[in-house]
Amino acid sequence: MPQLQAFNLCYQHRNGDVVFNDLSFSLTAKVTALIGINGCGKSILASILAKQKEPSSGTVICNSALGFYEQMNDVNLVDNLTIVEAIGLEPVFKALHAINQGQVTEQNLSLLEGNWDLEERFNAELVRLGINNKTPNSLSKHLSGGQLSQLKLWALFTCIKPDILILDEPSNHLDTKGKSWLIKQIHNFKGQLLLISHDQELLEHAYEVWELTTLGLTQYGTCFSEYQTQKQQQVAALENKLNHVVKQQSKLKAAEQLQKQKAQKRAGQGAALRKSGSQPKVLIDAKKDKASANLSSQSKNTAKREGELTRNKQELSSQLEQTKAQQFYLAQSGDAKHQKVLSLENVVLAHGTQKPLNLQVFSDDKIHVAGANGTGKSTLLKTLTYDIPLKAGQLHCNQALYYLDQHFTLINNKLTLLENVMTYCNNLNESTARTLLASIGFKKDAVFKHAAVLSGGEKMKLAMCIVSNIESTAFLLLDEPDNHLDLESKQLLAQSLQGFKGGFILVSHDKYFVESIGCNRQIGL
């Protein structure tokens, strides 16, 4: 019997928007991948399965111990927590400390089962991650996003060890070495795993793929590469059906026009006969009544057929919209002039690498910053905006810089999407702002949603839209903008950055993403 099942799940926001409806499924494969475009409800579904959210209706049955790795969308939520609090091991460490103080209770013994050597293993993990001079009670804000992510995953895989594990975007913030470690943990995990991810390298290790859309949950009993093939065939079939319906509509309109022309011709002939008096009036009136009845019947049939074709077109268009990739738009002003933007002279960062940095950056540069977790990539970007002070050296900036971090702190959750864009982009009128929002998937009344209800990927798309349209001379600092984005949006963002006329400094661990952009410089930390 499956250990995790869901029946008729529905979730609805307080404003009445339905996220998903009537989802029923059973987790049976060792590794199941849950995919879908940003905002379709994957993280909400994961929270419901982990009993952290209540569904609007429906039931979840779990007969085994379940662990949940949750996306870290807001860094401020863990800033003031200790490391063990942030990774969920505080009760275990407290139990260990209590037993060492002589407080031997059944609850403490239960918590420590299999974890008597926790302190030694924890310290060894800190060493592996290159985290120096930190204790379990050090504040988590002193770790990089990648280091904290790996520690949270390590706690789940090696200390908590549940029977079922739900991982929501576990590779976000991980460097190449960290991702390899994660893949090894997934392979060695003895239980069942539900993997929510947009990372192609991770998805290749799934046994089954589930896709969540507004149309429901489609279960593909295949690996990810086979799913991609089936998906392409599905899109092609929908496009063919839609093209066929459009052609039928065109033919129907042409036939309707021809009927009108024939009716007009017959009416003209009847008028001429009536005027000539060559046929009795009663006969002419009978012919006219019969012709009118035929025309009315034909018009009703045509209208019925038009209605059927229109409904088919709308249904196919809706399916295709949920199946095909969304758009991603970056402002494309004139070509950026080759002007010096930044100058770093013997700069030493407050955190991360302590090697002095000497660097000159120009307005048309597209620079990729590479390096392992903890080497100071995010610190470098925050130093350039003066958010973190220099430890040593000189920094000169000659142009406006716009920093987009991995936690979307740019976005005001209390404002609507439209208000966010209008607040930052003073040069845009409301019509242009709505057009920009429509181009990234927020159409019609969706612009009045509050940013707080957006998914991580939707927030990143909104933030990218804002920073690229603030002003034409903006130089962008992009801290892992590909995190949280669905596969299609990630590809479209790469294409947009490749064609972006301005300059940017990019931090990313995704080699596929970086290669597809075509950066002209790389900095290694």
Q: What is the pLDDT of residues 216-244, one digit of tens each?
A: 898 998 898 888 888 888 778 777 877 87
CA distances to 365, 375, 376, 479, 480 from 349, rounded to whole Å, are 22, 10, 7, 16, 19
> Looking at the predicted structure, is the pLDDT value of residue 280 above 80?
no
| Same-domain status, 200 and 259 | no
| Same-domain status, 238 and 289 | yes
> Across 50-54, 368-372, 383-387, which has the greatest mean pLDDT?
50-54
Assign 81 a pLDDT band (cuts: 50, 70, 90). Answer: confident
Q: Which residues contact 410 (CB under 8 A, 6 or more apart)?
A: 403, 404, 424, 463, 466, 467
> Looking at the predicted structure, is the pLDDT value of residue 328 above 60?
no
| Same-domain status, 172 and 43 | yes
> Which residue did the predictor score with more confidence, 193 or 405?
193
| Same-domain status, 280 and 350 | no
pLDDT at 276: 63
- CB-based contact 406:373 (threshold 8 Å): no
Domain boundary among 188, 215, 230: 230
> Looking at the predicted structure, is the pLDDT value of residue 336 above 60?
no
pLDDT at 62: 94
pLDDT at 297: 66
> Which residue did the predictor score with more confidence, 45 or 113?
45
> 365 is written with which tokens?
């540069």
Asked if the structure places residue 333 within a domain, the reply is: no
| Same-domain status, 170 and 208 | yes
Assign 44 a pLDDT band (cuts: 50, 70, 90). Answer: very high
Separation between Cα atoms, residue 172 and residue 187, nearest integer Å: 19
Asked if the structure places residue 274 within a domain, the reply is: yes
Query: Which among 471, 457, 458 is positioned nearest to 199, based on CA atoms?
Result: 457
User: What average pLDDT does the segment 267-283 reach?
Assistant: 61
Lowest mean pLDDT among 24-28, 134-138, 177-181, 322-326: 322-326
Asked if the structure places residue 124 within a domain, the reply is: yes
Per-residue HEC secondary structure of 211-249 comes to EEECCEEEEECCCHHHHHHHHHHHHHHHHHHHHHHHHHH
| Same-domain status, 28 and 57 | yes
CA distances to 403, 434, 463 from 507, rounded to whole Å, are 11, 29, 16
CATH number (domain holding residue 45)? 3.40.50.300
| Same-domain status, 154 and 17 | yes
- CB-based contact 404:373 (threshold 8 Å): no
Asked if the structure places residue 334 within a domain, the reply is: no
Asked if the structure places residue 330 within a domain, the reply is: no
| Same-domain status, 39 and 173 | yes
| Same-domain status, 295 and 439 | no
Where in the sequence is the domain holding 389, given as residue range(s)? Answer: 340-524
> Looking at the predicted structure, is the pLDDT value of residue 69 above 80?
yes
Asked if the structure places residue 332 within a domain, the reply is: no
Domain boundary among 230, 259, 284: 230
pLDDT at 243: 81
> Which residue did the predictor score with more confidence, 3 or 271?
3
| Same-domain status, 354 and 458 | yes
| Same-domain status, 270 and 358 | no
Return the ∠ at Cα 277 (arms to 271 and 279), rounded to 5°: 90
Assign 167 a pLDDT band (cuts: 50, 70, 90). Answer: very high
- CB-based contact 164:66 (threshold 8 Å): yes
pLDDT at 368: 93
Domain boundary among 230, 251, 284: 230
Tell me the chain's radius of gyration from C-alpha atoms.
Answer: 30
Question: For a pLDDT cut of 70, what percent of the chain falls above it?
Answer: 85
pLDDT at 494: 82
Lowest mean pLDDT among 275-289, 351-365, 487-501: 275-289
| Same-domain status, 498 and 510 | yes
Q: Which residues contact 37 (CB under 8 A, 6 or more apart)?
A: 213, 322, 326, 441, 457, 486, 488, 489
Asked if the structure places residue 137 within a domain, the reply is: yes
Instruction: Name the residue with tokens 């975007």.
Output: 169
> Looking at the predicted structure, is the pLDDT value of residue 51 above 80?
yes
pLDDT at 2: 72
Assign 58 a pLDDT band (cuts: 50, 70, 90). Answer: very high
Mean residue pLDDT across the chain: 83
Q: For 91-139, what is each residue's pLDDT tens digit?
A: 888 888 888 888 878 887 887 888 888 899 999 999 998 888 888 888 8
Assign 271 a pLDDT band (cuts: 50, 70, 90). Answer: low
Q: For 406-432, what is each residue's pLDDT tens digit?
A: 777 888 889 999 999 998 888 888 988
How many structural domains compose the chain? Answer: 3
The length of the chain in residues reads 525
User: Is the pTM here over 0.85, yes or no?
Assistant: no
- CB-based contact 37:489 (threshold 8 Å): yes
Asked if the structure places residue 329 within a domain, the reply is: no
Q: Which residues contact 248 (CB under 8 A, 6 or more apart)?
A: 309
pLDDT at 54: 94
User: What average pLDDT does the segment 68-79 reach?
Assistant: 71
Q: Where are the beta strands (DSSP E) in 363-463?
A: 366-370, 392-397, 401-404
